[in-house]
Every structure is written in C-alpha cells, then in structure tokens.
Amino acid sequence: MNHSLKPWNTFGIDQSANEIVCAENEQQLLDAWQSAHALNQPVLILGEGSNVLFLESFYGTVIVNRIKGIQVTEQPDAWLLHVGAGENWHQLVQYTLRNNMPGLENLALIPGCVGSSPIQNIGAYGVELKQVCEYVDCIELATGKRSRLTAEMCHFGYRDSIFKHDYQDRFAIVAVGLRLTKQWQPVLSYGDLTRLDPVTVTPQQVFDAVCHMRTTKLPDPKVNGNAGSFFKNPVVSQETAQALLAQCPGAPHYPQNDGSVKLAAGWLIDQCQLKGVSVGGAAVHRQQALVLINSSNASSQDVVELAHYVRQKVGEKFAVWLEPEVRFIGALGEVNAVETIA
C-alpha cells in the first residue's frame, strides 16, 4: 500500500494503491489486469483521474491507460477520427481545430482522457459525445478479445452509458471513433455563446468563448484539487419543474425530448447560499457552486460530508435530490455515490 494515488487524481486526495501500472498499449493493459486477477486483486482502470473520488486506499492494481494515437480518414462529407483512449481530451479538441475539423469546440477544456469520454457521455454547452461518436473499441479483460460497439450499442444517456453498467469492470476502452461532419453547425444555446452571431461565428470563436467561460468559472485542479462538476444536473418531471418555477420563476430549466425537464444543479446550490461553505479541507467553490474543491488538504471524508450537506440543503429547499457525477472508488472498486452521501 505504498504507491500514492495523489498524483493520479485531480482532487489531490491522498490515498494509495497496492500497485500502479502505466499501460502504453493493449498488451501491457491486459498483462497488468490478468496478473492482478490471478492474485485475486481488484483492478481499477484510470484515465487522468479527473472524475473520481478515492474514498479510501485501493486494495489492488490501478492501471493508468496511456494508449495513444490519432488517425484521420477523410470522406466527402466528414472526417473520421480513430483516437487512442489515453489521449488527452482537450488536446484532441485543439488538434481537430488546428486541422480545420470543427465539431468538438463546445467540449473544450473538459478534463480527462478520450477513453473516459464515452463512459460519462461527456457534454457541455449543448453538445454531448454521443452526437459525434461513431464507435467505441474495447477489449474483454479476461480473454483479450477485441470488440467494436456502435454508438447505438453504447446506450448513451445523460452522463451515462453501457460502460457504467453491463460493461463495467469486464471491459477496457482502448479507442474511440468520432465522426465530424463537414456541414458544421455552431451550437450557441448556452451561456456566453448565445451572444455570438450564428451567421458569422467561427469554430475558433466558439472554442475561445467556451475556454473563457470555463477558466473564469472553474478552478484549476493544479491550484485547488477538484473533479469538475461534482453533481449531475437533475432531470425531473414536469410537475416537479412546475412546482420549482412557481417558487422561483427565473430558475434555469431545459425541457427534454421525453417531456422531462433538466435543471441547473449549480443554480440550485447557489440559491441555498452554499458558495464558500466548507467541511474540513473541502469547500464549495466561490465562483461555481457545482464544483467542490480540495481547499486545504481535504480528506475523502471531508468531501463526502460536504456533498451530503449540499444535497440535504438543496433537497430541503427544492425537493430535488442531487446525484454525484463523480465516481466514488472504495477499497475494492466503485461504490454507489448516492448511497455514500445520502
């Protein structure tokens, strides 16, 4: 238990693991998994650790996926990208813009690796991964058998996919296939983007605006450890949304295709005057209430207690119960985050 996980999670939580292995290709990843499995040890596959909270030290092997490579195929109407799971997501966004292949600019500055993007079906400012994902390549860890899942087979939902359910723990993502259409259409439905002119706006301007919004509102993990948005934006019934809007007519709300309504978790937290509230070394960020930060050598328990407090306050005021977006990792693997903070 002497391998520190502190450099491997953006929260900067000081837990450790029995073993940490950096895998630069599929074979290294398989070998590490199968070695640990032969010893009956649990295994956790990490990208950049930007969406995890280690609750305690991990009694097994952490495999850091660093499988790299970007291959581009041009078609008459689109660019097809085959991207290694260990590539940095934001650097991929920059690469596509540099090479005049727009479509990912709304997803700029989302922390983490490409291989993590399908697990959460990452999204920001009106765009989700599922809109550009063609396929996800996986290997079955027990057999080494490779399989390709189409976007439909991934069962993408809001911050959800098959990789959180049937494919969790048994498969590792090794590459992601993206399709960026040449008929670029800007998505300008959120935040500062609504001020841009859809007729003249360029992909670079969208990228710059997204980066500006994220850097001014979100803390730098190198300064204050954090895992980005800690809670999911809750999706509620029309009845719940109408009750909230009767109470707070100005509440941000986004009707969904299935009749449900998405609310803004950060706004709900802010309305409870929770910005800056702290428990031990963990605090609610003063600029963006959706982010919990490691302000001063926070323990995992500090973060859990703060998340519980925030959830209770929002639930009491609005009858809306927030769920963590961050994955909670216990000694033997992932645990239920809602149950942990309830």
Per-residue pLDDT band at 6 (split at 50, 70, 90): very high
Is residue 331 domain-resident?
no
The residues pairing with 282 across neighbouring beta strands, listed in sequence order, are 279, 294
**Sheet bearing 146-150, strands edge to edge:** 70-74, 78-84, 171-181, 133-140, 146-150
| CATH number of the domain encompassing residue 209 | 3.30.465.10
Average pLDDT over residues 298-310: 98
Catalytic status, residue 170: no
Q: Are residues 87 and 200 in the same domain?
A: yes
Q: Are residues 244 and 318 in the same domain?
A: yes
Q: Are residues 55 and 99 in the same domain?
A: no
Burial (CB count within 10 angstroms: exposed 0-12, middle 13-18, buried 19+), residue 257: exposed
Q: Is the pLDDT of residue 276 over 70?
A: yes
222/150: higher pLDDT:
150
Per the residue annotation, which of 116, 229, 295, 300 is the catalytic one?
229
- Maximum alpha-carbon separation in the chain: 60
Q: Is the pLDDT of residue 207 over 70?
A: yes
1/3: higher pLDDT:
3
Q: Are residues 288 and 169 in the same domain?
A: no
Q: Are residues 321 and 256 in the same domain?
A: yes
Q: Where are the beta strands (DSSP E) in 141-170?
A: 146-150
Per-residue pLDDT band at 313 (split at 50, 70, 90): very high
Is residue 330 domain-resident?
no
Catalytic status, residue 98: no
Is the Cβ–Cβ distance between 110 and 90 less than 8 Å? Answer: yes
> Containing H/E element for 308?
helix 300-318
Burial 5-23 (b: 16+ CB within 10 A, else e): beebbbbbbbbbbbbbbeb
223/208: higher pLDDT:
208
How much is the pLDDT for 1?
57
User: Poorest-confidence range of 184-188, 221-225, 249-253, 298-302?
Assistant: 221-225
Q: Is the pLDDT of residue 191 over 90?
A: no
The mean pLDDT value of the chain amounts to 95
Sole residue written with tokens 């639930």? 315
Is the Cβ–Cβ distance between 121 and 157 less than 8 Å? Answer: yes
What is the Cα–Cα distance from 325 to 257, expressed in whole angstroms?
22
How much is the pLDDT for 169?
85
How much is the pLDDT for 257?
87
Q: Is the pLDDT of residue 132 over 90?
A: yes
How much is the pLDDT for 144?
95
Average pLDDT over residues 206-222: 91
Average pLDDT over residues 75-90: 98
**Sheet bearing 43-46, strands edge to edge:** 3-4, 16-23, 58-65, 43-46
Q: Are residues 52 and 153 in the same domain?
A: no
Average pLDDT over residues 313-329: 96
| CATH number of the domain encompassing residue 293 | 3.90.78.10
What is the Cα–Cα distance from 82 to 72, expressed in whole angstroms?
7
What is the Cα–Cα distance from 75 to 78, expressed in whole angstroms?
5
What is the Cα–Cα distance from 51 to 142, expressed in whole angstroms?
25
Q: Look at strands 58-65 and 43-46 and give their pairing.
A: parallel
How much is the pLDDT for 231?
97
Q: Is the pLDDT of residue 29 over 80?
A: yes
Q: What is the pTM of this model?
A: 0.91
Q: Are residues 119 and 213 in the same domain?
A: yes
Q: Are residues 57 and 80 in the same domain?
A: no
The residues pairing with 106 across neighbouring beta strands, listed in sequence order, are none
Q: Is the pLDDT of residue 30 over 80?
A: yes
How much is the pLDDT for 218?
85
Per the residue annotation, which of 66, 87, 116, 159 is the catalytic one?
159
Give the pLDDT confidence of 219-232 residue by residue, as tens digits: 888 889 999 899 99
What is the Cα–Cα distance from 264 to 140, expressed in whole angstroms?
37
Q: Are residues 78 and 209 in the same domain?
A: yes
| CATH number of the domain encompassing residue 17 | 3.30.43.10
Per the residue annotation, which of 48, 105, 325, 327 is the catalytic one?
325
Is residue 243 domain-resident?
yes
**Sheet bearing 253-255, strands edge to edge:** 235-236, 261-263, 253-255
- Domain final residue, candidates 65, 83, 117: 65
Catalytic status, residue 128: no
What is the Cα–Cα distance from 264 to 251, expressed in whole angstroms?
8
Number of domains the chain is built from: 3
What is the Cα–Cα distance from 218 to 226, expressed in whole angstroms?
9
Q: Are residues 99 and 152 in the same domain?
A: yes
Domain limits for position 171: 70-217
**Closest to 132 (Cα-Cα) out of 69, 198, 88, 181:** 181
Q: Are residues 55 and 82 in the same domain?
A: no
- Domain final residue, candidates 217, 248, 275: 217
